Amino acid sequence: MKHLMQLTAGASLAVLAALAPATAAEIRIGSFVSATGPASFLGEPEEKTLKHYVEEINKAGGINGDTIKLVIYDDGGDANKARTFATRLVEEDKVVAVVGGSTTGTTMAAVPVFEDAQVPFISLAGAVVIVEPVKKFTFKTPHTDRMACEKIFDDMKKRGLTKIGMISGTDGFGKSMRDECVKVNARFGVEILAEETYGPRDSDMTAQLTNLKGKAGMQALINPGFGQGPAIVTRNAKQLGLNVPLYQSHGVASKSFIELAGAAAEGVRLPAAALLVADKLPDSDPQKKIALDYKTTYEKVTGQPVSTFGGHAYDGLQILVGAIKRAKSADPKKIRDEIEATKGFIGTAGIFNMTATDHMGLGLDAFRMLEIKNGDWTLADAK
Amino acid sequence: MGDLLQFAVSGLTVGAVYALVALGFTLIYNASEVVNFAQGEFVMLGGMGTVFFATLGFSLPVAALMAIVLAVIVGLMLHAFVIAPARGADAVTLIILTIGASLVIRGAVPIIYDKQFHKLPGFSGEESIRIAGASIQPQAFWVVGGMVLVVLALHLFLNHTRFGKAVIATSVSPLAAKLVGINTAFVVGFSFAISAGIGALAGILVTPVTLTSYDVGTILALKGFAAAVLGGIGNPVGAVLGGLLVGLLEALAAGLISSSYKDAAAFITIILVLLVMPNGLAGIKHIERV
Amino acid sequence: MAALNPRYRTLLAILALIILPGLVMPSTFYYRIGALVFISAVAVIGINLLMGYAGQVSLGHAGFFAIGGYACAILPVRYGIDPLLAALIGVVLAGLLAFAVGRPILRLRGHYLAVATLGLGLLIGLVLTNEVWLTGGPDGMQVPRASVFGVRLRSAEHWYWISGAVLFLAAWIAANLFDSPTGRALRALRDSLVAAEVMGIRAARYKLIVFVLSAVYAAVAGAMLALFNGLVTPDNASFLHSVELVTMVVIGGMGSLIGSIVGAAVLVILPQVLTVFHEYETLLLGVLIILFMLFLRQGIAPGIAALFKRRPA
């Protein structure tokens, strides 16, 4: 009996100790990403980027002399866990700001916690609903899915492609981008003749593509989705002899898409951050240096090809660090004000100009239209 | 017509994989009454294993062989460390144990290797062949052909070799088999090994078509299991037919009805069939009905 | 202590487990963890009734959980119904579905029942993901906060006590069921189907009762989580969630009420303690399942209870 009591007491203490936050005085930045689970495609590069650059910044003297402590959790793509970690970051770890939220689902689950606690939150997820309507403490760095649609339709219009088909993934990203696309297509004179969907874990889309192929007069195909689905769509399309121009989304902005899709990726177009073509940018391009720096660093540190998802984490972290520097304080409200005042920040995704009504800060020109040629990214045409 | 043929082709290709998974389920179930939820992970190990060994520098055929060996070893370990110690527990316990095993395998792979998707090149190129208005990837022939060969080989083995007959005897009555001197423990272990090997082979054959990652095993196990049940669990021919049928139904549902509910096609059919024909399409095992 | 009826002893212990930590929680985060444990425990008690007492398995119970949750989202947002009333409706709906589906499915046994419940859970998940007009699609829906007597129920502290109360009620009902004629019939069923039938116990009827009851428990838990979190997503219905619930039963102890809470506690608290090892979470879950099913088949709670029994009082 006595042994059991001692054991229980000991175990409880151990649990509590593990849960207790560290007590050193530093600037605490919190993060929660989906490093495991169905969105690990997004979360892993984000986690690696955040960890590496926090280390770099601390080596260079930190922010105004203070070291950054990064408290980062993995939500596994689960919105409920994201909510729990958000609460933990605010209550237990007492962070002054957060950069994270790999998916729209996990972001939206966490937003109420940060808004309530008045802690600034820079999200790394895509959907436009994160910043529209604008919430006081919530920002985001990736281009919105609506911008992706607009960029694609703009390009289609230029090439005279007005009747198209759409095949989208039923995951959060694919669905919300598909919803945005059907809202804006008319504005560009593009008609969506037919639509199909596929599950994010599906391994074969020939049935859906066969149906689309049968639609007379279809001039192009657009595929909102992320992960391996778009690669399979691309391969299946080639296999079926579906020879119309194929547009992917920025959800596939990493070399692994080209690897997986193989020869079928030739000629595919997608809107993406300049990061992917950093080495091909003209020297006069203001983004070239930052993008190239990040690309080389990331590839050297991780041994994996760079992806725009890690780039968004880089942008988020740097914007936050810049804001803390300018605020000269660790007060969350002051940090928030400075984030909102970010102007002319050159990141991997574009040049950010935030305002009180625009908590994303990128314009349509921050997106570049890329085309895959000879197994590599190239700029589709002069901007 | 071309469209239907196209649906049928894709359906049969992926159905052949379900068939091999279902066959693996059936072999293990027959020998030991265990429904092995980790069956899908063997398929994953075939694909990911080949990628892994290829990264280490081995040529693709050698890497594929090593992947099969790896899966067989994992299958034997599963039997030795998870199933054998459970010593004839009830069905619920065994199902949960194998679910745990599948989590272990699925959890170990991203730690040892990575979480990315990978592909393997098609065995005979990637150019589609056009037949009667449908485009068929050459790899599809490998997949279906592989399935046919496996089924034939298994049939020959079970019915025309002494050991094969020992396996059948064990599945009919383990007690009687023991009484005539058959080493039933060996038979059970062997069936795990064979199932793992078949699963891995299926994975290697189909990865050029479907890509592979640490995560592909789960949904394969679910659908393969459903296919085995559809065919009547315990019947190898039923398992193969069930697998092909599930694949076909999925493709037809996606093409003709709604692509969002593609996965549902398999499960709705299973449920309906089970309610109407409780022994599955060709079941020999008797479902206890209350 | 030994003189008290074991049923009362269990209920008293549960009461202590709910009230005592609630008095010393250091912050909102801990209240949240506690609430999450209690909410899961309610669902686990339901599955325990099914698995532990009636010997059935369900690999799709997360589906009923999600129905309870989504009712709290869909009915208020799309039809203007009060959130608490919506929760009630959701629970009733889950029960009706279980009744409708249960009658044919429960005639199957073992693996076939497993497949059928699996399919059911997956189907529910698919509908929740795809019918965007109703369910908000893959990213889920917001759930409005419930109010009681003008007090908005949104803080973790509120929900700690609410879920604790519901848990106690759930445990009390289950404990009384155990000793009731229905409970005895169920135990007889689990131990020997044939003998039970010979004694006149109509297995089908009792199996259905337990199935519906377990679905109701799961839906109540789902509704609580939805109202607490303020959102629902299709992940609530996922196969992984069903597996997690079953694991809680296994770890805590099949057929044990306290075990239900212990199992829930382990699976909710462990990921929080082991955040550094998040890469190993799936692996660890699998290893735990295997170890417990092989070596500690009765689970933690009965295991510890056995320890108590061995020493003289």
Angle between helices B91-112 and C110-130 (to 10 degrees): 50
B103 near C CB under 8 A: yes
B255/A211 touch (CB, cutoff 8 Å), yes or no: yes
Contacts of C48 (CB under 8 A, 6+ apart): C174, C249, C254, C255, C256, C257, C259, C260
* C225, C272, C279: residue with CB nearest A19: C272
Nearest-Cα distance to chain C for A176, in Å, is: 9
A38 near C CB under 8 A: no
pLDDT band at B102 (very low <50, low <70, confident <90, very high): very high
Nearest-Cα distance to chain A for C186, in Å, is: 34
Q: Taking CA atoms, what residue in A is nearest to B2?
A: A210
Residue-by-residue pLDDT tens, chain C, 313 positions: 445 677 788 888 899 989 999 888 888 899 999 999 999 999 999 998 888 767 778 899 999 999 999 999 999 999 999 999 999 999 999 999 999 988 888 777 677 788 788 889 999 999 999 888 888 888 888 898 888 877 788 888 899 999 999 999 999 998 888 777 777 777 776 677 677 777 766 777 888 888 999 999 999 999 999 999 988 999 999 998 999 999 999 888 877 888 899 999 999 998 888 887 888 888 988 998 899 888 877 767 776 666 655 544 4
A172/C231 touch (CB, cutoff 8 Å), yes or no: no
* A18, A74, A176: residue with CB nearest C139: A176
B96/C126 touch (CB, cutoff 8 Å), yes or no: no
Name every residue in B having a CB less than 8 A away from some CB of A: 3, 6-7, 9-11, 13-14, 110, 115-119, 126, 128, 130, 135, 137, 209-211, 213, 215-216, 219, 251-252, 254-255, 259-260, 262-263
| Mean pLDDT, residues B264-274 taken together | 79
B290/C107 touch (CB, cutoff 8 Å), yes or no: yes
Indicate the domain borders of chain B. Answer: 2-276
Best of B131, B206, B211 to disrupt the A interface (most A CBs within 10 Å) is B211
Q: Which residue's entry shows tokens 């010393």?
A: C24
B82 near C CB under 8 A: yes
Q: Taking CA atoms, what residue in B is nearest to A233?
A: B210
Best of A33, A74, A166, A206 to disrupt the B interface (most B CBs within 10 Å) is A206
Edge-first strand order for the sheet with A138-140 is: A68-74, A27-33, A97-100, A121-123, A138-140
In the complex, which subunits touch C with 3 or more CB pairs below 8 angstroms? A, B
Q: Which of B52, B96, B106 is closest to B74 using CA atoms?
A: B106
C-chain residues near B289 (CB < 8 A)? 107-109
For domain B2-276, the CATH class is: mainly alpha
* A197, A207, A256: residue with CB nearest B10: A207
- In this prediction, residue B287 carries a pLDDT of 44
C270 near B CB under 8 A: no
How far apart are the C-alpha atoms of A307 and C310, rounded to whole Å? 60
- In this prediction, residue B105 carries a pLDDT of 95
Indicate the domain borders of chain C. Answer: 25-238
A204/B117 touch (CB, cutoff 8 Å), yes or no: no
pLDDT band at B290 (very low <50, low <70, confident <90, very high): very low
B137/A239 touch (CB, cutoff 8 Å), yes or no: yes
C132/A175 touch (CB, cutoff 8 Å), yes or no: yes
Rounded to the nearest 5°, which phi and psi values hold at C56?
-95, 165
| Average pLDDT of the residues of chain A | 89
- In this prediction, residue C313 carries a pLDDT of 44
How far apart are the C-alpha atoms of A112 and C197, rounded to whole Å? 55
A-chain residues near C313 (CB < 8 A)? none
B103/C289 touch (CB, cutoff 8 Å), yes or no: yes
Q: Cis ω on the peptide bond leading into residue A133 (within 30° of 0)?
A: yes
pLDDT band at A12 (very low <50, low <70, confident <90, very high): low
Of A15-19, A79-83, B111-115, B178-182, the one with minimum mean pLDDT is A15-19
C-chain residues near B105 (CB < 8 A)? 286
Q: Which CATH number fits domain A26-143+288-363: 3.30.300.30, 3.30.559.10, 3.30.465.10, 3.40.50.2300?
A: 3.40.50.2300
What's the burial of B213, exposed, middle or buried (CB within 10 Å: 0-12/13-18/19+)? buried
For residue A159 the two structure tokens come to: 């090439």
Helices (H), chain C: 6-24, 28-48, 62-79, 83-105, 110-130, 132-135, 156-179, 181-191, 193-198, 203-229, 239-252, 257-273, 281-295, 300-310
Cβ–Cβ pairs < 8 A, chains A and C: 80
* A74, A76, A175: residue with CB nearest C138: A175
- In this prediction, residue A357 carries a pLDDT of 92
B-chain residues near C285 (CB < 8 A)? 100, 103, 107
| Mean pLDDT, residues B20-30 taken together | 90
The sign one gets for the Cα dihedral C59, C55, B35, C102 is negative
How far apart are the C-alpha atoms of B107 and B115, rounded to whole Å? 10
Percent of chain B with pLDDT over 90: 33
pLDDT band at B179 (very low <50, low <70, confident <90, very high): confident
Q: Taking CA atoms, what residue in A is nearest to C130?
A: A170
- In this prediction, residue A290 carries a pLDDT of 92
* C29, C236, C311: residue with CB nearest A91: C29
Nearest-Cα distance to chain C for B99, in Å, is: 7
How far apart are the C-alpha atoms of A173 and A103, rounded to whole Å? 8
Cβ–Cβ pairs < 8 A, chains A and B: 88
Instruction: Read off the pLDDT of residues A225-268 as tens digits, 9 standing for 90 and up.
Output: 988 899 999 999 998 888 899 999 998 988 889 999 988 999 99
* C118, C286, C290: residue with CB nearest B222: C118
- In this prediction, residue B284 carries a pLDDT of 41
B270/C282 touch (CB, cutoff 8 Å), yes or no: no
Angle between helices B91-112 and C281-295 (to 10 degrees): 150
- In this prediction, residue A108 carries a pLDDT of 93
- In this prediction, residue B157 carries a pLDDT of 87
* C129, C308, C311: residue with CB nearest A170: C129
- In this prediction, residue C308 carries a pLDDT of 59
B263/A199 touch (CB, cutoff 8 Å), yes or no: yes
- In this prediction, residue C84 carries a pLDDT of 92
* B7, B119, B215: residue with CB nearest A207: B7
- In this prediction, residue A383 carries a pLDDT of 40
Indicate the domain borders of chain A. Answer: 26-143+288-363, 146-272
- In this prediction, residue B1 carries a pLDDT of 63
- In this prediction, residue A14 carries a pLDDT of 55
The CATH superfamily label for domain A146-272 reads Response regulator (3.40.50.2300)
- In this prediction, residue B282 carries a pLDDT of 58
C112 near B CB under 8 A: yes
Count CB-CB contacts under 10 A for residue A284: 6
A105/C233 touch (CB, cutoff 8 Å), yes or no: yes
pLDDT band at B288 (very low <50, low <70, confident <90, very high): very low
Containing H/E element for A191?
strand A191-198
Q: How big is chain C, counted in residues?
A: 313
Rounded to the nearest 5°, which phi and psi values hold at B216?
-75, -15
- In this prediction, residue C305 carries a pLDDT of 65
Q: Taking CA atoms, what residue in B is nearest to A214?
A: B3
C139/A172 touch (CB, cutoff 8 Å), yes or no: yes
What's the burial of A79, exposed, middle or buried (CB within 10 Å: 0-12/13-18/19+)? buried
| Mean pLDDT, residues B48-75 taken together | 94
Asked if pLDDT for residue A87 goes beyond 90, the answer is yes
